[in-house]
Structure 1
Amino acid sequence: MNPTPRLVVLDMAGTTVADGGLVEDAFTAAAHRLGEDPAPMLDHVRATMGESKIAVFRHLFGGDEAKARRAATAFEEAYGERVAAGSVTALPGAADTIRTLRDQGRTVVLTTGFARVTQDALLDALGWHGLADLTLCPADAGGRGRPYPDLVLTALLRTGAADDVRQVAVAGDTAYDMLSGVRAGAGLVAGVLTGAHDRTRLTAHGATHVLGSVAELPALLTREERA
């Protein structure tokens, strides 16, 4: 039996925030700004949802660091423009879920593969500053995002909320979220079906549970405690 979950690490886009195709839309806009055809790249973008965006562009542009950084900047600008235009919404029950988790005595950290400027734009648009105990982007974890364990472990180190990595619960909508949780040693790794990847893919990459949405997470953690 795993210890009681004390720290909950939640993804943003696709898990607590409705994506609505914004990532692909912003990627397409960024590719066009660089004079690139986005069509041959979209399969990789979809497969790596949840990964740090600079890492995605490094792969797509064959390690050309300057071009990858230009693309990442163009992506963040395009995504930010869409956020500013009101194209982002919270998933149903997400904010209440975070409040409930904290009311249960758990520490909640929101993580993303976006740059800090984009994460802050999302938090501004949703009115979510202060909703969670902490927010983290890849730069806060030494630059490596998912599927590395760094964001989860940074959440643990920054908050000191748990004495054991098995007291950490991770929830996300992508295979990379699952891998990040598994590699960090989290006791519970929950996939949600509101984002990029389906049940089969989430389970294949380590999900211990698959939920219809993040709104089901507080009840799951309560059941785990009672078990």
Structure 2
Amino acid sequence: MTNPTTDIRLVVLDMAGTTVADGGLVERAFDTAARELGVEPGTPGHAGKLAYVRATMGESKISVFRHLFGTEDLARRANTAFEKAYGELVDGGHIAPVPGAREAVEELQAGGRTVVLTTGFARVTQDAVLAALGWQDLVPLTLCPADAGGRGRPFPDMVLQAFLRTKAAEHVQQVAVVGDTSYDMLSGVRAGAGLVAGVLTGAHDAGALRAAGAGQVLDSVADLPGVLT
């Protein structure tokens, strides 16, 4: 019987926390978005909302703001402020690759596998991150929730879009999904991926990742090529 970790044809990688180290920019950008809607840091309301943001790292940001602020108008106002603030922080040089991430992607692709980068951010923010890192041409496809009909993690839609668009795999068991959050793991499990792996460079710990369905937990995405060979 084929070992599922050696028959992987398509690797779907999360960005922030998995391949990209952003040093807590999500929380800083959230502070800006919260102020836009009158929620000041240091207040009980802010603390509760920040706790939810931390717990739902990896989920589509507009979905997070819908939950936090209740109406579509408020959610979109918060999301616009968040994306603007995050983009400005990215432009200010506050992000970097996770050590070994680019090399891991290049090694995977050199070995004949297709790599897709996914995010819970809007396309404009994803493009800003890719540009800041010089990664515009690193992989053949990048996806955000809008590319999958608006449904980000924990839904499987982005993983399945990667499967359908790249045609790199014959069936979903040849797909690996790798991320740093419970939502990444859930999206991989729901997509039926052959390998769902968590990494410890981002938001959630090994216990949370395994509870959400991680079959393996790695110290870093840099370890992934070794797992697949």
Partner of 2:61: 53
Partner of 2:15: 12
Identical-residue share of aligned pairs (%)? 70
8 Å contact 1:16–1:90 — kept in the other structure? yes
Query: Alpha-carbon deviations, 1:33-76, whole Å to 9, x = none?
Result: 221233220111011000000000000012x0000001000000
8 Å contact 1:7–1:106 — kept in the other structure? yes
The CA RMSD measured in Å over matched residues stands at: 0.9
Is 2:212 the counterpart of 1:209? no
Is 2:28 the counterpart of 1:25? yes
Partner of 2:154: 147
- Cα distance in 1 for partners of 2:87, 2:47 equals 22
TM superposition shift of 1:132? 1.0
Q: TM-score, normalised by structure 1?
A: 0.96
Is 2:112 the counterpart of 1:105? yes
* One-letter amino acid of the structure 1 residue matched with residue 126 of structure 2: Q
TM superposition shift of 1:19? 2.5
* One-letter amino acid of the structure 1 residue matched with residue 143 of structure 2: L
* One-letter amino acid of the structure 2 residue matched with residue 86 of structure 1: G
Partner of 1:225: none
8 Å contact 1:194–1:213 — kept in the other structure? yes
8 Å contact 2:69–2:75 — kept in the other structure? yes
* One-letter amino acid of the structure 2 residue matched with residue 140 of structure 1: D
Is 2:97 the counterpart of 1:90? yes
Structure 2 residues without counterparts, runs of 5 or longer = 41-45
Secondary structure, in 3 states, of the residue corresponding to 1:83?
helix
Partner of 1:34: 37
TM superposition shift of 1:179? 0.2
